[in-house]
Amino acid sequence: MTLKTTSRTLMAALAAALAVAAATVAGATPPLASTDNGPVRGLRTGQVAAYLGLPYAAPPVGPLRWRPPAPSASWTGARDAASFQPACPQKGVSMPGEPPPSTAEDCLYLNVWTPIRRPTRPRPVMVWIHGGGYAKGATALPLYWGDRLAGRGVVVVSLNYRLGPLGFLAHPELSREGGGTSGNYGLMDQIAALEWVQRNIAAFGGDPDNVTLFGQSAGAMSISLLTASPRARGLFHRAIAQSGAVFEPLELAPGYRLPQAEKDGVTYAASLGADSLAALRALPADRLLEGRASLVTHPVIEPTVLPLSPYEAFVAGRQNKTPVLLGYNAEEARSLVNLTAVRADTFQADLTRAWGGLPPTITAAYPFVTDAESRQARADLERDLRFGWDMWAWARLQDKAGGPPAYAYRFSRRPPFPATSERGGWGASHFAELWYMFDHLDQEPWAWSRTDRRLADLMSRYWINFARSGNPNGPGLPVWPAYTTGSDLFLDLGDEVAPRVNPDQKTLRAFDQTYDAVRGAPFGTAPGPRP
């Protein structure tokens, strides 16, 4: 059995769940709820109601392509909300073994899971933002369903947002059309979905004054950006970020700033043979995913949605001040890099090919002699470079800012993933924590142990407690101390659950040294002049 079997098991889980839902609904009245566009009819699965495919904005097609999300149209009569709507246009899949999603440019929909039993007081709301490198991902993936969390007493929302060039293209013509700014349409979608939650979630039993964002990978990166966005202020009250944030110096990524992003947009358009915005808008959505699309598949620092990077916002004290729960996985790189191909004699050449060369102050922190040591060095470096440093930086910046606390974790449990010979096993890799956090172990017929099931129970309880109060602690749970720079304690989510000093601290400090030199200022202080 290989991890590719996951596609079949996911589809089987989807079919089985929908069959159960249909059977249940056949013997009971489908749940109804009201939205500001009209009533919706969902489906019932056990003690949870699901409302799927609810529009939160107008279809971003035709003249609305590359424009801020517009209000969705209203309807009369109860709208059917018993099935997912297509994901936004994308190529490939966001996780190994995942079935390719159904896609359409008309994709701005969200889903709600809520307990059937009406609450005596409004319930906490958890809004999920999926990952996929800003280019992939779908809320219909069974792993992302909110049924198990909702069964524990919260309201869960998941949302589609525009991806790739359709979500993040900056271009001079778009900037003129947009009053001096362009890009970040995907972030605007996320904000529009949060505005929908503010207007509508009370009708589903949720508390609009207690909204927690949670997301993984690019979803977590999006949350770090929303923490810096003045447009998102007041729309969420807590934040959970899993393996993703944007705190590196933008001097190392000039394409994130609007002037260079516009130039990259022109280069991208030329790669498609489009010499104008009108020509781009005339192309079918699938064609827009070709050419040099990777140039325009990331957020942009621009005047309206994101005037400051997250690091700049924290240094200036202009971040959205909320409690945060954040962390990363001990073996992130095992699902992202073919470590079995890493050799000591080609280590540096392979690294340069992947990243364009890294400063010696960073690579020297990962010494090796043998091939086996080089594989571990590459795994640790990729973990810290892509995820570890950003999460560590966010925790430290939150502590330096004072006010709401941060709770940091390091996920080290190795799930019983099916063996994969081509990469030597996945381990505590990127995305490994998701089955536990969503309490979805039963979706996969893997050899889950009592330790796995205990960890899934603990993690889902921590996450829900945090959504309720901004503090993950509660009866029967190992104590999770708030993060401080002095203690550097992360909660180890592994075979045992206990706070420990971050074991990656030594290598992570190598990034501080390099990034401080680039910024011209020590970590957490005002950066120097930009080149």
CB 504 within 8 A of CB 384: yes
- Residue 498: Cβ within 10 Å count: 12
C-alpha to C-alpha distance for 218 and 229, rounded to whole angstroms: 16
C-alpha to C-alpha distance for 79 and 77, rounded to whole angstroms: 6
Tokens at 77, concatenated:
């009569």
* Catalytic residue (choose from 72, 175, 217, 224): 217
CB 445 within 8 A of CB 9: yes
Q: What is the DSSP letter of 306?
A: B
Distance between alpha carbon 501 and the CA centroid of its chain, in Å?
26
- End-to-end CA distance of the chain: give it in Å, rounded: 52
**Residue 332 catalytic?**
yes
Task: List the one residue out of 461, 455, 379 whose CA is nearest residue 415.
Answer: 455
Task: List 44's β-bridge partners, or say none.
Answer: 49
**Residue 217 catalytic?**
yes
CB 283 within 8 A of CB 65: no
Tokens at 277, concatenated:
């915005």
Residues 6+ apart with CB under 8 A from 241: 214, 215, 220, 223, 224, 324, 325, 326, 327, 391, 394
* Catalytic residue (choose from 430, 440, 444, 460): 430
C-alpha to C-alpha distance for 151 and 412, rounded to whole angstroms: 26
**Residue 102 catalytic?**
no
Total count of residues recorded for the chain: 531
Q: What is the DSSP letter of 69?
A: P
Tokens at 150, concatenated:
């909702």
* Catalytic residue (choose from 262, 331, 332, 444): 332
Task: List 239's β-bridge partners, or say none.
Answer: 213, 324
Task: List the one residue out of 211, 221, 183, 166 whose CA is nearest residue 305.
Answer: 183
Strand 123-129 vs strand 109-115: parallel, antiparallel, or unpaired? Answer: unpaired
C-alpha to C-alpha distance for 454 and 167, rounded to whole angstroms: 39
Residues identified as active-site: 217, 332, 430
